[in-house]
Chains A and B, each alone.
Chain A
Amino acid sequence: MSSKGLKITGAILAFILSIAISLSNANFSVLGFADAAEFALLSDLAGIAHAPGFPAYILLSKLFSTVLSISGIGHIATLVIFSRIPWNCLVCRCC
């Protein structure tokens, strides 16, 4: 395998491993303390959160949950997956 191929394979493995570990002890049906339910509700309504409003998070989670809901995955589960995706791996290696 070429050096570039090795790097890509390593990056994919790092992404899969980190998301697998992160999701291995997650709860896909329950919301936690404080603002968890607020953001879950707002990602459903596409509404406005407490100051400063967090519009980027709200809209991206709305988009993500809408897309994943097509596959039948529950709303809380989609938000858990959204928040636990190792975005840094995704951004830095898949682009």
Chain B
Amino acid sequence: MSMVFYGLCLREDGKRNQGLRWAAIGFGLGLANNHLTMLMFAPFLLLLWPEGWLVKKIVSKKKPVSSKVNWKDLIGKEAKHFGIIVGAILLLFYGWMYFRAGSELPFAFGSPDTLDRLLYHLSGGAWIKNTQAAVKGIVGMRLPYFLRISFEQFFLCIVFLVLGVIYLITSKRHRLWVAMVFYFLFLFIYQLRIDQTADTDAYLCTPFFLLSALLPFGMARLCTWYKHVYFALPVFVLGQFFVHFDKTDLRDFDLSTALLRDLDQSAQKGSVVLIADWTNIINYNYARVHDGFRKDLCVLNYDLKFTHHDLFRRNYPEIYQAISVSYDRYITLLGQYHPEEIYNTGCTLDQPDLIASYLDVIRALQNYCKNKNVPFIADPKAYVFLSQQGVFPVAHISGSYVSDRPGIGNDEFLKLEHQWLNNKHVKMDPSASDKLVDLEAALDFQRRYWQQLNDLPRAEKAEGKYREIKRMQNQMKKKMKFLFRPA
């Protein structure tokens, strides 16, 4: 976005060709990244394409500029030039992706190695369902939180934001303030409708960036009224820094190490682990691939195949060999009912033969564990599902996990050495809610387990930690009503 705006500013300065190239490179890179935010900017790019949106006087000296948009220019030579640069960048990056999809990597997503699958992946893949689903009352639930983060983004400087808009209106730079404000509103409203606990606030990164460009105009407005206020302006910026420092301080944020420590302490050598949490399993995969962390474990996503059906064979060839008959049948059926899901996360078990085949794989994994004398363990969410299906009859606790045999790491887990729980940023982050639910469930298992065994000191310790998590959830619930709501 900064490249696009830099290009537009160069055009405004009379360097039309240079500006066009910068804007096209920026636009192309944006489309080869999160293309939705860039596509939503396209109408505003068109609005700002004809010069005269910023420096009317300077431009008018060199060449008189009509206030009307010259559409002939837009669809003429410049559009071709722009299109060629953008097209080349897209071809380079998405072409690379197309060929790279054919490689046997230990992690892959979407497998866009055919035109159909490439288009599916480019059009949003499985995520698109989230954006299309209509959830009653979701906008009302999310609005207060997103209004608050938008306010906090500018906080002390919000006065300059307002003054900036006023300044642009009074100086008749209508195209500029319309582009900045309406681009923000477009994306703000778009992401409000999406029923997703995490991630959607990232859509606001580029609109916030553009809105922040209004601040210098607001400051300039103020300086035209009170000349000496110029020297006080840094106070606002520094004030912003001091107010927000704690909320963005991640120095004691130990999420990934805490989760992996829990797994390390809970899983005996060679365990097969089933996890139903994206943060947890993707962090394990990173640590396994990058750092060689606990390669003795077989850590599976709840859907068994993770983001690509072939990852099981690639990463755990020995176990795949042992369960290949049932696993291949499950993948075949999943591919028949939901073709896109064998190349992405998730498994919609909506057919009797499909769910039967899934449970067959679970039983095959449990038999493998029995034969090898290694534990089969699951995180609380995965355990609840499996026990409901009757395939996890005997349960013991094993740290933050549930095991088919007496586990390990319980005392270590009860210390709950998770520094990130005390981090101020976490209390404002909707993404934390999923992890809190997991910890709540794990501690709930712990307290009930020790109560049943009449081990009161451990039961009390688990009860205390459980209440801590519940308290934190209640605090978050007040600020973010869209979290923790009944399904």
**Which A residues form the contact surface with B (CB < 8 A)?**
21, 25-27, 29-38, 40-42, 44-57, 59, 75, 87-88, 91-92, 95
Contact B112 A91, beta carbon cutoff 8 Å? no
> For chain B, which range describes its interface: under 10, 10 to 19, 20 to 34, or 35 or more residues?
35 or more
Once A and B bind, how many residue pairs between them come within 8 Å at the CB atom?
152
Contact A34 B279, beta carbon cutoff 8 Å? yes
Chain B nearest CB, measured from A29 CB (Å): 8
Contact B110 A40, beta carbon cutoff 8 Å? no
Chain A nearest CB, measured from B132 CB (Å): 14
Contact A34 B124, beta carbon cutoff 8 Å? no
Say yes or no for B126: interface residue by CB 8 A criterion. Answer: yes
Contact B127 A30, beta carbon cutoff 8 Å? no
Contact B245 A53, beta carbon cutoff 8 Å? no
Say yes or no for B435: interface residue by CB 8 A criterion. Answer: yes
Contact A53 B286, beta carbon cutoff 8 Å? no
Among B33, B279, B307, which residue has its beta carbon within 8 angstroms of that of A56? B33
Chain B nearest CB, measured from A58 CB (Å): 8
Chain B residues closer than 8 Å to A44, beta-carbon distance: 286, 289-290
Chain A residues closer than 8 Å to B353, beta-carbon distance: none
**Which B residues form the contact surface with A (CB < 8 A)?**
1-3, 5-6, 9, 22, 29-30, 32-35, 93-94, 96-97, 100-101, 103, 105-112, 120-128, 198-199, 209, 241, 245, 248-257, 278-279, 282-283, 285-286, 289-290, 307, 344-345, 429, 431-432, 434-435
Known contacts A48-B112, A57-B33, A75-B290: A92-B255 contact under CB 8 Å? no
Among B122, B198, B282, which residue has its beta carbon within 8 angstroms of that of A53? B122
Compute how far the CA of A47 lies from the CA of B122 in the bound complex, rounded to whole angstroms.
Answer: 15
Contact B100 A48, beta carbon cutoff 8 Å? yes
Contact A50 B6, beta carbon cutoff 8 Å? no
Contact A38 B282, beta carbon cutoff 8 Å? yes
Give the residue name and chain of the A residue nearest to B258 (CB).
A30
Contact A55 B109, beta carbon cutoff 8 Å? no
Which of A50, A52, A91, A92 has its CB near the most chain B CB atoms (within 10 A)?
A52
Chain A residues closer than 8 Å to B432, beta-carbon distance: 33
